[in-house]
Structure 1
Amino acid sequence: MAQTELKRELANRHVQLIAIGGTIGTGLFLGSGKAIQQAGPSIMITYLIVGIAVFFVMRALGELLLSNAGYQSFTDIAEDYLGPRVAFITGWTYWFCWVMTAMADVIAVGVYVQYWFNIPHWVPAVVCLIILLGLNLLTVKNFGELEFWFALIKVITILALIGIGVIFLIMGLKTDAGSVTVRNLWEHGGVFPNGVKGFLFSFQMVVFAYVGVELVGVSAAETADPEKNIPSAINKIPLRILFFYVGALFVLLCINPWTELSPAESPFVKTFSLVGIPIAAGIINFVVLTSAASACNSGMFSTSRILYNLSRKNQASVHFAKLNKNHVPGNSLFISTLVISAGALLSKLIPEQAFGIVTTISAICFIWVWGVVLVCHIKYKKTRPDLHLKSKFKAPLTPAVNVVVLALFAAILIIMLIARETRPALLFTPLWFILLYVLYSVNSRKREQSNKIISAKPTIH
């Protein structure tokens, strides 16, 4: 008999590290180099603003998920509060979000491997995908274990960076780039060296840096104790944002004047190469490589689960709902991995633009998903005050803060439209939503016609 239910095999340590892994990825390790070049030291403010916004999204999502034990994804919540059409669009958009994100990570894997081997980018990308696919096909516990160790490597790296930076600051030591000092934050053109324009244009990459934080919600269906584990993971997000993002960037910019960092390489690799440890740069390049693999692993997990849920709701092929003997949606994993592998092709065709294009599309689509969560929470609080009243994990400052965050997201989209580099991707992305709208309408008509034919058939007694 075919398996139809996902297995709850993710323990608390898995959920906690998935939450950390979701907030530390390619956007920080590689994308921050580009963002720093745009905003200079003010990039720390950008990360703080977006981080606070994402925390409120997660609190809204946490309350919604725990209000109904039957919720397994964003689509379940969207369908209850915004209807099946929005649920269909959101479900497929979330799948598309992670496809784009995983493509960016696959591209990053190719970039990092170039540090050691001069081989085509697509080769390590394909090898990485094959290994992760094999591991994910076994059990969901394997995904949890992979993320646990990947995230642990990231945490140790950032702790090491911050520790070394603090020692250099206290002792007044120097690197090849000069003195390690807090004055580096304002002595090279000020905190806003490229003005307000540079500060605003950095928001796109910073939004991308936070994608994946909502994986705590996606993993809810496979979490052993969601009522305990999900609030615990979400409530620790602000501390992680301050420490792993703002703290790490503070140390980076004290060690390196922002003018010394290149948008084409990881500022983490650059920083460790300056501190005088001969093998440090190679070690950190390995770390950021595992970070990209981790994010790709998250992408494969989430895309397969969202396809599984779409299939269960008759919004995708029934084949995607089939689970293998390990309770893993194998068909969904295969098709998602196949589509993600297009990232390797993209890096071959347009190597200079590929990373920027897929990260912009990913950021736009994630803004949609996060926005849907906020709108659903507003509707939930208005239409189900009984559930909100008895909730043990109430989202704070709602609904006012939801409106403020939605306004921030709208402003970021306007900034993307103004910026020449992100404008093409922003203008392309609406085509995806139009396609989904049309597909839903066509499928709805087909279902209605099928129901009419069935109801018109005479009943034989």
Structure 2
Amino acid sequence: MTKIIHEKESLDRGLSNRHIQLIALGGAIGVGLFYGSSATIQLAGPAIIVSYLIGGIIIFAIMRALGEMAVAEPVSGSFSSYANRYIGSFAGYLTGWTYWFMWVVVGMAEITVVGVYVNYWFPSVPQWLSALVVLLLITGVNLVNVKAFGEFEFWFALIKVVAIIGMIVAGIRIILFGIGNGGTPMGLGNLFEHGGFMPNGVKGILFSLVMVMFSFGGVELIGITAGEASNPKKVIPPAINNVIWRILIFYVGALGIMMTLYPWNEVGTKGSPFVLIFDKIGIAGAADIINFVVLTAALSAFNSGLFSTGRMLYNLALQDNGPKYFGKLNKSKIPSRGILFSSSMLMIAVVLNYIVPEKVFLYISAVATVAVVTSWTIILVTQIMFRKAKSKEEIAQLEFKMPLFPYLSYISLAFLVMVIVLMAFIDGMSVALIVAPIWFGILYIGFKVKKKKEAETINVKPVA
């Protein structure tokens, strides 16, 4: 049996079951659904439903792999900590810093979206100014205590959930009963007309999978919250098991309703499909309501991202894979130094919104997709190594086992490799395949320099 070293954490376990469930729910509903769904629909047509089903199954497998480890060993560093223990120190170093990088990049995307939607109400306000205000606001929330983060995330996630359920219910009424359509039921014709259910064939489904996987980025946040959950063994398993139902309802359900009501090739060309649906059933101010919902979705995702970066830097410090500076907590047991450092890095997004506001979202989402796929890949590999490090007796005692192990793990790994390959053939996405090797090269050099300094420190003999 392998001897495992655990990092000693001092974080406050202030997240209740209510917080964890809504954080998990909110993590499965990102801005990708509201802001990026039109692009994916244009790639696959109504068959985007199949894309989200396939992607959802893979995400569920990744989450079960993470859940097995998070329930057995709940820490805030989550998969970075596990990679450090079960693969090696470079794996922990690579995972932690890449995940930190991912959330900084995603945070840039989210505050970019905030600027776009604030412009809807206040066209004279520049995007960079909105981004700056949001950055300062969310940084303040995260510095108070973990309960403040939990409450903020609870209510903002709830707004997203209520809005999408409302849209689905309203859509079903139009489809089945014709309410809002002069009493004439819409039926399912739009799903099979206008070129058929798969207008762009299998190729369309394959290429849509890249943006589909980007939209799922954030579900792994459940593993990060394990270190601050009041009772991780009780709250983490149901939060993870419900991921598949959330994907079916909020992605497959919402997009299915959307494309039943409108021809797939018109979605996004006449304004937000969410706005059009609420407008159709006679809800006053539908555009303002949806704009507010998407704004809160972006704020929610940004809040989660900043939370994650602080915890990841904190755990990297405990692993000796990051500066000791980040291993200190404030009086509220918050890793404030990591949060403030990440926040300062996010100022880059404010600058980008000033220089190239029209291209920020595409470039950032491309880089974020590579980073999140890297994190998911390491989760799967780590879970395989986690099993190998355990005796038969220890495996038998695991409380939340990965189903169909190891087959599902290897299938999921092959799928993630396919997503990366597909990115090379998508305009705007291939930039990430240039950025990623540079980033990994920087990390490798940084790790080697760190190890060399550690070796020199050990070999220094005290002066007599």
TM-score between both structures, scaled by the size of structure 2: 0.94
Structure 1 portions without partners, runs of 5+: none
Structure 2 portions without partners, runs of 5+: 1-7
- State the identity %: 43
Say which SS state the counterpart of residue 168 (structure 2) adopts.
Answer: helix
Is residue 2:228 matched to residue 1:227? no
- Amino acid paired to 1:406: L
Is residue 2:212 matched to residue 1:206? yes
In structure 2, relative to structure 1, the CA distance for the partners of 1:72 and 1:354 (3 Å cut) is: closer
Tell me which residue corresponds to 1:12: 17
Is residue 2:145 matched to residue 1:145? no
Deviation at 1:216, TM superposition (A): 0.7
Once the two structures are superposed, what CA deviation does each residue of 1:396-431 show, in whole Å capped at 9, x if it has no partner?
001011000000011111110122331122222111
Separation in structure 2 between the aligned mates of residue 113 and residue 197 of structure 1, nearest angstrom: 36
Is residue 2:433 matched to residue 1:433? no
Say which SS state the counterpart of residue 144 (structure 2) adopts.
Answer: coil
Q: Is the 8 A contact 2:366 2:431 kept in 1?
A: no
* Segment drifting more, 114-123 vs 215-224: 114-123
* Segment drifting more, 110-119 vs 257-266: 257-266
Q: Is the 8 A contact 1:33 1:265 kept in 2?
A: no
Separation in structure 1 between the aligned mates of residue 62 and residue 226 of structure 2, nearest angstrom: 16
Deviation at 1:173, TM superposition (A): 4.6
Separation in structure 1 between the aligned mates of residue 279 and residue 434 of structure 2, nearest angstrom: 39
Deviation at 1:67, TM superposition (A): 2.2
Match of 1:26 among 24, 31, 40: 31
Deviation at 1:348, TM superposition (A): 2.7
Tell me which residue corresponds to 1:418: 425
Match of 1:366 among 366, 372, 375: 372
* Segment drifting more, 203-212 vs 12-21: 203-212
Match of 1:257 among 263, 286, 291: 263
Separation in structure 1 between the aligned mates of residue 15 and residue 272 of structure 2, nearest angstrom: 32
* Segment drifting more, 119-128 vs 379-388: 379-388
- Amino acid paired to 1:9: G
Say which SS state the counterpart of residue 132 (structure 1) adopts.
Answer: helix
Tell me which residue corresponds to 1:43: 48
Separation in structure 1 between the aligned mates of residue 448 and residue 67 of structure 2, nearest angstrom: 31
Match of 1:185 among 191, 196, 201: 191
- Equivalent positions of 1:317-336 (< 5 A) are 317-336=323-342
Say which SS state the counterpart of residue 137 (structure 1) adopts.
Answer: helix
Separation in structure 2 between the aligned mates of residue 175 and residue 17 of structure 1, nearest angstrom: 34
Is residue 2:396 matched to residue 1:376? no
Once the two structures are superposed, what CA deviation does each residue of 1:258-294 show, in whole Å capped at 9, x if it has no partner?
1222279643234334443231111111011000000
Separation in structure 1 between the aligned mates of residue 377 and residue 191 of structure 2, nearest angstrom: 33
Tell me which residue corresponds to 1:165: 171
Is residue 2:250 matched to residue 1:241? no
Tell me which residue corresponds to 2:111: 106
Considering only aligned residues, what root-mean-square deviation do their CA atoms show, in Å?
Answer: 1.9
Q: Is the 8 A contact 1:29 1:267 kept in 2?
A: no
* Segment drifting more, 441-450 vs 257-266: 257-266
Deviation at 1:83, TM superposition (A): 0.2
Q: Is the 8 A contact 1:175 1:255 kept in 2?
A: no
Q: Is the 8 A contact 2:107 2:301 kept in 1?
A: yes
* Segment drifting more, 187-196 vs 230-239: 187-196
Deviation at 1:174, TM superposition (A): 5.6
* Segment drifting more, 197-206 vs 208-217: 197-206
Q: Is the 8 A contact 1:67 1:387 kept in 2?
A: no
Say which SS state the counterpart of residue 212 (structure 1) adopts.
Answer: coil
Tell me which residue corresponds to 1:115: 120
- Amino acid paired to 1:33: S
Deviation at 1:128, TM superposition (A): 1.2
Deviation at 1:386, TM superposition (A): 3.2
Is residue 2:318 matched to residue 1:298? no
Q: Is the 8 A contact 2:168 2:253 kept in 1?
A: yes
- Amino acid paired to 2:194: H
- Equivalent positions of 1:68-79 (< 5 A) are 68-69=73-74, 72-79=77-84
Tell me which residue corresponds to 1:399: 406
Separation in structure 1 between the aligned mates of residue 133 and residue 405 of structure 2, nearest angstrom: 46
